[in-house]
Structures are given as C-alpha cells and as structure tokens.
Amino acid sequence: MADRDAATIRNVAVVGHRGSGKTSLIEAMLLAAGETTRLGSVPEGTTVSDWDEDEGRRAMSISASLCHAAWKGTKVNALDTPGEPSFLADALSALSAVDAALVVVNATAGVELQTERMLSRAADAGLARAVCITMLDRERSDFESALAGLREIVPGAVAIQIPMGEEEGFRGVVNLVSMTATTYDGSGPKGTTGPIPDDLLERAEAAREAMIDVVAEADDAFIEKYLEGEEITTDEIIAALVTGVAEGRMVPVACAASTLGGAGADRVLDLIVEALPSPLAAGAKSAIDADGAEVALRPDEGGPLVALSFKTLADQFSGRINLLRVISGALTPDRQIVNSRTGGKERVGQLFTLQGKEHVAVDGIGPGDIGAVAKLKDVLTGDALVDDGVGLTVPPVEYPPAAMSFAVEAADQADEDKMTSSLRRMTEEDPSLDFHRDEQTGEQILGGLSQMHVEVIAERVERRFGVGLVLRPPRVPYLETITVSADAEGKHKKQSGGRGQFGDCKLRVEPLTRGQGFEFVNKIVGGAIPRSFIPAVEKGVVEAMLAGELAGYPIVDVQVTVSDGKHHAVDSSEMAFKIAGSLGLKAAIAKAKPVLLEPIMTVETIVPTECVGDVMGDLNSRRGHPLGMDSGPAGETIRAEVPMAEMLSYAPDLRAMSHGRGDYSMAFLRYQELPAHLAEAVAAEGHDAEEAVA
Ligand SMILES: Nc1nc2c(ncn2[C@@H]2O[C@H](COP(=O)(O)OP(=O)(O)O)[C@@H](O)[C@H]2O)c(=O)[nH]1
Ligand SMILES: [Mg+2]
C-alpha cells in the first residue's frame, strides 16, 4: 500500500562534528519546507530534533531523531545525529538506515575530527555524501579554507555553491550549476532567486570552472568533450554530478547560515532532492540469509518484507518505540511480523512517523521509507522484521565498545530492582552502553564511551523512570599473575568424630605468556589421586584464582599442574579435594613472586597544532608512551599507550589544555605489569574494596 514510490524518497543522515550546525540546519530545512512555522534555536532548547529535555539543557544532540519534510514532490527523511563522540552509536545507527550522508561543516572551524570520521564511515557504508558548510554569517567564517580542508581528505569534494558576502555581510548563495543567485533578507528562509550581481560574476565564473574541473576529472565521458573545448550544458553537469555522487566519487558542497532566518536551507533541500540518490537509485541493500549468504534487496513493494530496526527509544509513556527503515516490501499496520533474530512473532499495531518528538500517524511504511512503531515486545536496534518464513537478517553495525566504567547503585536501596530494569532498557536504546554485574566484586557496572556518556544515561534514568543513581569512580580492573614457577602442597585433613575429610595434592604453577589465561594439566600417574577427584582439584584451583592474595584481583596467565597427591579410601571426597586444590594454589602462588597487572589503553588524541606540546607533556606525566603523530586538516593526531588508571579523568583535563578543541578516543590494548612503587597502594585499595563487598 505504499502511498509513494521509492523514487520520491530521500533518506539522509545529517552527521558531523559536535556544534557544526546539524540540528540548526534541520530546523531551517523544516521551516523552509513549511513543516514548522518558526525557527527554533539550539541554545534556547526549542528545536524540533533536540526535543529531549537534556538536549535542550545541554544545548547538544544526544540521541538520533527523525524529522521529515515534503520538498518538490519528494519526502525527505532527515535523521539528526549527535556529533559528540560519546553518543557515536546513534550516528552509526543512522548511517545504517539511509542512502546518503549530509556532512555538516562549521565555516569557522573547518574540517574537524568527527567530520573526517563521518566522511569515511559514510564512504565505508557505501553511502552517497554531500557537505553543507554552515555558519557563513559568523565572524571569522571562511568558506574557501573549509572547502580546501575538505578537499584535502576528499578529492571529489566540489563546491556547487559559493556564499555571497562574508561574515556579517553574508546575504545568500550563488548556485554554480544554474548560475543564479539566491538572496535572503535574514527574516525567514524564503530566498529570492535572480541573476548573479556584477561584483560577484567573476568569482562565480572562476568557481564554476573549478567545479567543472572536478566533475570532468571524475567522469571519463565528460573529459573528452571538455578537453576539446566544447560547451558543456547545465544538464550534462547535473547528470555527471548525480552519477558521480551516487557512485561516491563526488561530494557536492553547499552553504548555509541556518540561524539567520534559515538562509540557504531551501537550496540545501534542492541539493538533497536533485543530487542525492533515492532508495531506488541507491541500489540494493544487503541482507543475510539463513546460510549466511548475502542477499541483495531492492525497495520493491512486491518483495519480501524486510524492515531494519535502527533505533530503539525507551519512552516512558509509549513504552518502546522502534524506528524502522523498510528495505524491501511494505509494512502495514495491524499485522503480524517475525523478528528474524529471535524467531519471535510480534504484533504491529499503529504505524507512525516522527517530527522530532511528535508522532504523526501513517497508514503504512512503503519500500525505502522510514517510520516508527511502538510497543513491540522484543525488538532491539539492529533487528530485522520480516514476513513469516523470510529468514533474512541484516548485517550488524559495529559499535564502539564501552571504554569507561562506573560502579552504579540506586540512591535508595529499595529501588535496586527498578534500577536494573531501567538500565536494561537504556542499553536497548544505546548499543555502546554496557550494564552488567561484576562477578569479582559483586558491583553493578555501567560502562559507556566517556564519563559524560554515563552521566547523561544516569540523568535519563532518573528523569524517565524516577530512580536516582549514584555513580562511583570506576575501579580499574587489575589482575594478578606470577613471575616465576613454584611448587606447593595443598592438604585438607579433618578428623572430628564420624567420617573425616582428607585430600592432598601437589601443585606446580608456571607463568604463561600474557593473555593466555589459565591452563590445567593433570600429570598424576598410578592413581595417587583417583581420577574421579581430579575435576574437584581443578575446581578448587579455579575458585582460588578468582581472587589473588596480593590485592584480591583475579589471577591470570598461569599454568597449574597437579603432579602428585594422596587420598584416603574412606575420608576422601570431592569437597576435600576441592579445598586441597584451593589451598595448594594459594600456597604455590605466594611462592611464585606474584605481581599486579594493569590495563593499558591505546589513546588517540587529536588537538590543534599549537597544543601538541602541552598534550604530549601531559601524556608523559600519565606514564604514557607516545607511538606516533599524524597531521590532518582537523589537527595533529597523537597516538600513545597509557595505563587506564591514569586516564580516568582525562576528558576535563584535555578540554582545558586544548581550549575545548581537543578530542580523544581510547581502547583496551593489553595488560602489563604494574610498576612496583605503585603496587602497594593498589593492593591496599583492593583489600579495602574486598572488605566493603564482604
Ligand atoms: N551564527 C550562526 N550560528 C549557528 C549556525 N548554525 C548553528 N549555529 C549555532 O551553533 C551552535 C551549534 O549548533 P547546532 O545546530 O546545535 O550544532 P550540532 O551540534 O551540529 O547539531 C548553536 O548555538 C547554534 O545556534 C549558523 O548558520 N550561524
Ligand atoms: Mg545537534
């Protein structure tokens, strides 16, 4: 029942660095298309797409949100995404649901870290890309330099517009394809299109030449004509651009000043409709069949129903809401579908689309379109909804794993269960969150991509579910290991009336290489310990390895060999040998010069060139080892290995050192011996924590 042809849909994820102007640009497009009647503002918390209370308060997008606009007979589905790296998961989910990425670049800062990352993520996902350079009305904005930075990393970037006037003198854009000028009076998004003013003509002609150069370079058929000096028609330029963009070779660049009444937004909508591919033009999306083979799916109404759930919202009123991209077939309301991950049947009720937080009922979601459904029972981000009998799943998106963990407790102990269920729901919403119970310490652990990430989640839980949370500084997950081999005996003997207990084993512990974990070797010959009791010895060993004597952390990278022992025909039992195994291991480890291991992270910090010295010095003082440095248009990238324990409060320090312009990412690398002078303090702390848990 698709009410529209897939050719008249554009699905666009608006991505880029934090603060580049994505949310404001969408706001301006909605106004330009008549979807709204006034231009909301990010600082005032009144935009359509930053609708959540905390987004308004922090003046920043935290979750992906869906908006839509009708423009020139086409439905534009725009997904606003967070640029802040802490909320990267939602930007990646959005990319999995669209056919094109609109990368927003701030004209005062130029290419930034997240600009580069998103451009390459979108290319990896095979998406068409376009760029909008915004904030052209701002002081120190520089279109040319932003464009040059862009071209350094994407040679196919081509300006199809240039700004008219600069900074406070900005008054509109010149369209280099049609060679017309659209001016705005600053009061609204409606521009007046006319001839290019004389004083700009020369610059516009040069810019058009430059555009044709790039287009020609990327298109063989074009280049001959061009070299022979033949006149190239506007239609030919458009055709070459459209193909080049769909194939990812070309990236058209437009301009805007979104907060200046929405200036330029109408031409950005034109660009989306005219140059970015529809789901039909973008070609097939892949699905995976029951045998793991890839299947190409086109947005055909007659095809099997496959809808990707690319975002899950935990709404306190409507329950769970899933945002869906219909890849093939059409989704109709009031019907049954199957979740291909679980095989579970689900009842689809009402279908709707979203304008930010506002639900707009629809009577179906056709092939290629994006919409939403509420109250499905067990559908998570990344699941595919299919017709019964269609065993197709969609390729999973790779999300960054949690890099920073906190111990979390309910502020009111009575809320402990509610906390657990609320945090489970939050992990459904955000795939880069990790919530689990640490077996070692008994603590509930909440992990995210950064401190801010975890704090925002804690706030959301409090606001939506009424559960106050207490976050405690993350405990660094130290481990213990041994440095030399040693032998010991574990003997458990008890005689107290009746039947006694007797078990005796000789154990040898030897260091393994880092990361090998644990190996258990049985070298008993001649039945010194009956075969049936060997598993009990191993069980005792494994239990004792859970908490080392040094500081109570798990013991790893040890080979344990049971070489000899004694048993008693009546008094030996599994329990007795288990205890003997534990005692033997503890005794052997104590003799094997145990040490603490600490997690080492790889850290990538990107900062403006002038801050490199400070940042390097700071990493050194955190016991870091530099690995190398690269320069790019977004600044210098410094790579280093740094102990996790030294990175627990890096974010605010980096912010201060780089005047808010630095950024970093971190991933676990390996475990390494903790220097002796630090071990004592860690050991004392570890034992304190053990007592607290006990
Ligand atoms: N002067 C000016 N300010 C803008 C423009 N676009 C966005 N801003 C402001 O820049 C800040 C960041 O914009 P926002 O849309 O939240 O960026 P996002 O993080 O990419 O979504 C906000 O304070 C906006 O009001 C623009 O075109 N001109
Ligand atoms: Mg935003």
pLDDT tens profile 566-613:
999 889 899 999 999 999 999 999 999 999 999 999 998 988 889 999
Provide the pLDDT confidence category of residue 691 given band limits of 50, 70 and 90: low
State in Å: Cα 51 to ligand 2 middle. Answer: 10
What is the number of the ligand 1 atom nearest to the C-alpha of 20?
20
pLDDT of residue 2: 47
Cα 272 to Cα 69: distance, rounded to the nearest angstrom? 11
Residues with CB under 6 A from ligand 1: 16, 18-24, 41-43, 60-61, 83, 104, 134-135, 137-138, 257-259
Tally of CB atoms within 10 A around 668 = 13
For 192-216, b/e burial (b = at least 16 CB within 10 A) is eeeebeeebeeebeebbeebbebbb
State in Å: Cα 236 to ligand 1 middle. Answer: 35
State in Å: Cα 676 to ligand 2 middle. Answer: 47
Residue 161 has pLDDT above 80, yes or no: yes
Nearest to 51 by CA among 476, 382, 358: 358
Task: Specify the residue with its C-alpha closest to ligand 1, atom 19.
Answer: 19
Instruction: Read off the pLDDT of each residue in 486-511 and give the average, rounded to a whole number.
Output: 91
> How much is the mean pLDDT over the chain?
91
Shortest-distance ligand to the CA of residue 24: 1
Provide the pLDDT confidence category of residue 23 given band limits of 50, 70 and 90: very high
Reported as a single tens digit per residue, the pLDDT across 296-328 is 999 998 889 999 999 998 776 777 899 999 999
Architecture of the domain defined by 7-275: 3-Layer(aba) Sandwich (3.40)
Architecture of the domain defined by 480-592: 2-Layer Sandwich (3.30)
Q: What is the CATH number of domain 285-386?
A: 2.40.30.10
What is the number of the ligand 1 atom nearest to the C-alpha of 134?
27
Instruction: Read off the pLDDT of each residue in 147-172 and give the average, rounded to a whole number.
Output: 93
pTM exceeds 0.85: no
Task: Specify the residue with its C-alpha closest to ligand 1, atom 14.
Answer: 21
Cα 58 to Cα 253: distance, rounded to the nearest angstrom? 29
* Crossing angle between the packed helical segments 265-275 and 22-32, to the nearest 10 degrees: 90
Chain centre distance of CA 66: 18
CATH topology of domain 596-678: Alpha-Beta Plaits (3.30.70)
Nearest to 618 by CA among 575, 572, 649, 588: 649
DSSP percent split of the chain into helix, strand, coil, nearest 5: 30, 30, 35
Residue 26 burial (C-beta neighbours within 10 Å; 0-12, 13-18, 19+): buried
- Under DSSP, the state recorded for 398 is -
Cα 292 to Cα 449: distance, rounded to the nearest angstrom? 31
Nearest to 178 by CA among 198, 158, 200, 160: 160
Topology alike, domains 404-475 and 596-678:
yes
pLDDT of residue 658: 87
Q: Count CA atoms closer than 13 A to 283's CA, side-chain side.
A: 11
pLDDT of residue 215: 84
Provide the pLDDT confidence category of residue 440 given band limits of 50, 70 and 90: low
Provide the pLDDT confidence category of residue 96 given band limits of 50, 70 and 90: very high
Architecture of the domain defined by 404-475: 2-Layer Sandwich (3.30)
Reported as a single tens digit per residue, the pLDDT across 631-644 is 877 788 999 999 98
pLDDT of residue 1: 42
Environment of ion ligand 2 (residues, CB < 5 A): 22-23, 61
Reported as a single tens digit per residue, the pLDDT across 207-227 is 999 998 888 876 777 777 777
pLDDT of residue 3: 58
Domain range list for the chain: 7-275, 285-386, 404-475, 480-592, 596-678
Task: Specify the residue with its C-alpha closest to ligand 1, atom 9.
Answer: 21
